[in-house]
Structure formats: structure tokens, C-alpha cells
Amino acid sequence: MDSTDPRLRDSSPRSQIVHNKARREKPSEYPDRYPVPDDKVPWNCEFPGYRPPYYVSPIVLANDCSKNPNGWADPEDIVLLPLIPKESFAGVLSQDKAGRPLNPQGRTGVSGRGLLGKWGPNFAADPIITRINKESGLMEMLAIQRKDNGQWAIPGGMVDKGEEVSRTLSRELQEETGVVLPMDQGRMVYQGYVDDPRNTDHAWMETTAKHLHLSGELSERMNLQAGDDAQAVRWLPLTQESMLGLYASHCALIIKTLSGMVHNNPFALSVKELETMANLLDTVENERNSCS
């Protein structure tokens, strides 16, 4: 894990990473989530009737590293895990009676690991690339359309075993979009929990998100090519509709990115460009508040 600036864990209300998709959405192969009312989400609230279905994907079981020497998943039997994760970007982790790490955001309505290979945090990296489209004047992000659910997303992916996260950022960007950029020079936007529809009570996504803003000239020279996990890649204009439709916590990550640009103006954007972004942030925030 990279060292973390604690300020990156603070979420301003407008960009808070909440725990909604992990309670209300799921991949099609998951069983229905046990309904968890808002007041029963925290583990320290009594919920005696809580009976979440146990689910672990056959793909994860086939990659159990205690049975398959090339497997990428933890042993299904947690007793065989050499080290149970005790902390993550989210802080110190609690465990249930069986010794399984508990989701730091609370109950999700599904126990086990679902589609995630690791007990506890499953680390990803999200390269956020933006530009301003000279013709429309709109801010755009480099986005992929995911094959698993068709949603537009930041071209992120999982950190490989032993891999530096800055390497993951550049590798995933190249694999998913064909673009090569020095992500180690990116501005750190966020490190922490992701509200991913795959999350369960015992396995969840956490990410490191870094941002690069490109000039129009540089971005136009790039040859975009959708990689294995992507059915399409494009410069996605950032509008209320496109941002609210992004995968997992990616809307909140883009809000954080744009807020940083509006407040510090590190890329010397014009007053008009900053105003357009500030207005967009206001409308997206209002819509998110009215939905939650």
C-alpha cells in the first residue's frame, strides 16, 4: 500500500463515497441481497434477523490458490490464509466470529466474497484523464464502456500481486484504452473505499485514483483502442447525465477531480471554463442529494 495523505480520505459532502450500490445493486449471478435498511447498515447496530445469502463465484473458487498453484484468489477456507488483513485505506478493520474481515462501510446483504478474490480489501487503481474539447468547450474524460454491464467507467483495474500502484495506473490505462501516459506524475485524487456492486460483507473494492489533464493537441494525437475488458473507449463529455451513469464510485471520483480543478486551477483554465465546471458540479450534487 502506498503512503496516504490523510486529507485524501476526507470526503466533502459533495463527493462522498457512499455505500448504496453495494446494498442496492449486484452482478446478475449474485443471489438477491438481504434488504438492509439505512439504520441497520453499521455493524454496531443490532440486526438479529440479518441472514445474508453466502455467495462465492465458481470463478473465484477455481482460482483458490491453496488448490490451484496459478490461482489469483485467496483460499476459500480463511484458516488457510497466511495473513488476515487487519487494516486498509479505510482504517483498522473488524472481523466477525469466523475471523473474516468486515466491510468497513457496514452490511451489504451478501456474505462471502462474491466475484472478488481477496478476503477484505481488493485493491484497484483508477487513472483519470481529462481534456477540454475545443469545439464544444466541454470537459471530457477518457472512458471505457465495461463489457460486464455496459456502463461507462474510468479505465481502472486491479493491482497485481506485488505491483506498485503507479505501475497499475499506467498499465491499466494502456491495456484498456491503448494510451501510454506517465501516471506517476498524476495528481492524487483519492485513496479509499469504492461503492462497487460486487462488494459483500467480507470482500470489497478500494482504489487509488490519480489525475492527468491533457492539452487538446496532445489528446487529439492519441489513438484510442478498446482493450480486453472494454467494449468501447471514447472521450466522454462530462454532463449531469453521463456523470450520474458512471460505474461504481466513479461519479464521486470525477466530482473530486473537477472540484480540485475549480478550487486550485492547477491547469490555468479560463474563468469561463471554471464557471462551466462549477455549474456542472452544482447540478450533479443537487441530483445526487435528491436521489439519496
- Would you tell me which residues interact with ligand RP5 (CB under 6 A)? 124, 126, 153-154, 156-158, 194, 196, 205, 207, 229, 248
Strands 230-237 and 157-158: unpaired
Which residue number is nearest to ligand RP5 in terms of Cβ?
156
Residue 74 CB, nearest distance to ligand RP5 (Å)?
17
Query: Whose Cβ is closer to ligand RP5: residue 101's or residue 157's?
Result: 157
CA distances from 291 to 24, 64, 157, 244 (A): 13, 39, 28, 10
Distance, in Å, from the CA atom of 83 to the CA atom of 74, rounded to the nearest integer, reads: 10
CA distances from 135 to 140, 254, 271 (A): 12, 22, 17
Q: Quote the cell numbers at residue 248.
A: 461504481
| 158 contacts 152 by C-beta, under 8 angstroms | no
Residue 215 CB, nearest distance to ligand RP5 (Å)?
25
Strand partners, 286: none
Query: Whose Cβ is closer to ligand RP5: residue 194's or residue 261's?
Result: 194
Query: Could you tell me which of 203, 144, 204 has the C-alpha nearest to residue 17?
Result: 204
Q: Quote the cell numbers at residue 203.
A: 470482500
Query: Whose Cβ is closer to ligand RP5: residue 154's or residue 179's?
Result: 154
Residue 86 CB, nearest distance to ligand RP5 (Å)?
22
Query: Whose Cβ is closer to ligand RP5: residue 126's or residue 273's?
Result: 126
Query: Whose Cβ is closer to ligand RP5: residue 28's or residue 44's?
Result: 28
Residue 248 CB, nearest distance to ligand RP5 (Å)?
4
| 135 contacts 235 by C-beta, under 8 angstroms | no
Residue 115 CB, nearest distance to ligand RP5 (Å)?
8
Distance, in Å, from the CA atom of 250 to the CA atom of 209, rounded to the nearest integer, reads: 10
| 168 contacts 263 by C-beta, under 8 angstroms | no
Q: What are phi and psi of 6, to 5 degrees?
A: -55, -25
Query: Whose Cβ is closer to ligand RP5: residue 72's or residue 267's?
Result: 72
Query: Whose Cβ is closer to ligand RP5: residue 139's or residue 154's?
Result: 154
Distance, in Å, from the CA atom of 255 to the CA atom of 258, rounded to the nearest integer, reads: 5
Residue 197 CB, nearest distance to ligand RP5 (Å)?
9
End-to-end distance of the chain based on CA atoms, in angstroms? 32
Residue 141 CB, nearest distance to ligand RP5 (Å)?
13
